[in-house]
Amino acid sequence: MDNDIEHMENQDIAAHLQWYLDSGVDEVTGDETLDWFALAPKPKGTPTPILKTPVLSPENIAREATLAVSNCTSLTELKQAITAFDGCSLKKLATHTVFSDGNPDSKVMLIGDAPGADDDRDGIPFAREHGQLLDKMFEAIGLQRDKDFYITNILPWRPPGNRAPSAEEITICLPFIKRHVELFDPELIILLGGVSANSILETDSNITRLRGKWHEYEIQGRKIPVFPLFHPAYLLKQPKAKGDAWRDLQNIKARLEDKSQ
């Protein structure tokens, strides 16, 4: 329209707007867009949105675990760092952080799967029934827990209900056991159970396929001989497997005797 609105009378302006309304026009636009929702007054009592803390992936938590133990120079410092770590949800349900038992000055390292109910209750790995069978097994080849070997687990906290650890829980705790091996510096590692064997050897093979054979674990440029063995809990449920376990123990005994010569 050629008429300049600034030169129109009030009644003309009103008539002009009425013509638009009669034509079905109910809003106008300007040169810049407006966010009418942002401009609208907020009702009283509207709660302020709560920003949720982003959930970290197991891999990110594992990196935090690695940083937490990377500067540890002794087993004592490592135990303190693991006990203080809050990145694994298992810790919230556990009674104790189960770190280790046995002789820290020995050269044989036993690594189990995860603490059981008795371990969590007593605060040491392989306590009570499972521990009694383990001790008898190694006493049969001349090894005593308080003198000849050192024992720990892949996880320092018990999964509720003694269930198997999840892949995420193992991922988070794996930096702990890797640093544990570095600081202990064993001459021989014995893996007790499928979770331990799969985690350290990085394989999905069943423990029945892994046992009875020597493997290697490389850390800090050094290859350590590794021997997977049935977990005592498995042997208590499957007594028929004790024959295989006895032959495996004889294999371990022969390897230790060769090293001592």
Residue range 76-116, pLDDT digits in tens: 999 999 999 999 999 999 999 999 999 999 999 999 999 99
Mean pLDDT to the nearest integer, 41-45: 65
> How many domains are contained in the chain?
1
Residue 245, domain member (yes or no):
yes
Residue 29, domain member (yes or no):
no
Distance CA 209, CA 53 (A): 43
Q: What is the DSSP string of 103-156?
A: -TTSSEEEEES---HHHHHHTSSS-HHHHHHHHHHHHTTT--HHHH-EEEES-S
Residue 255, domain member (yes or no):
yes
In this predicted structure, which of 49-53, 88-92, 152-156, 200-204 has the lowest mean pLDDT? 49-53
Q: Which backbone phi and psi does 221 adopt, to 5 degrees?
A: 75, 5
Parent domain of 173: 58-260
Residue 111, domain member (yes or no):
yes
List, in order, residues 6 or more apart from 130 with CB less than 8 Å away. 116, 118, 119, 231, 232, 233, 236
Mean pLDDT to the nearest integer, 216-231: 96
Among 223, 225, 221, 249, smallest CA distance to 235 is for 249
Q: Is 228 helix (H, G, I), strand (E, B) or coil?
A: strand
Residue 8, domain member (yes or no):
no
Residue 16, domain member (yes or no):
no
pLDDT (0 to 100) of residue 22: 65
Q: Is 222 helix (H, G, I), strand (E, B) or coil?
A: strand
pLDDT at 7 over 60: no
Q: Give residue for tokens 């135990």.
A: 79
Mean pLDDT to the nearest integer, 219-231: 95
Residue 88, domain member (yes or no):
yes
Q: Which two tokens stand for residue 117?
A: 């109910």
- Give the CATH number, domain containing residue 221: 3.40.470.10
Residue 162, domain member (yes or no):
yes
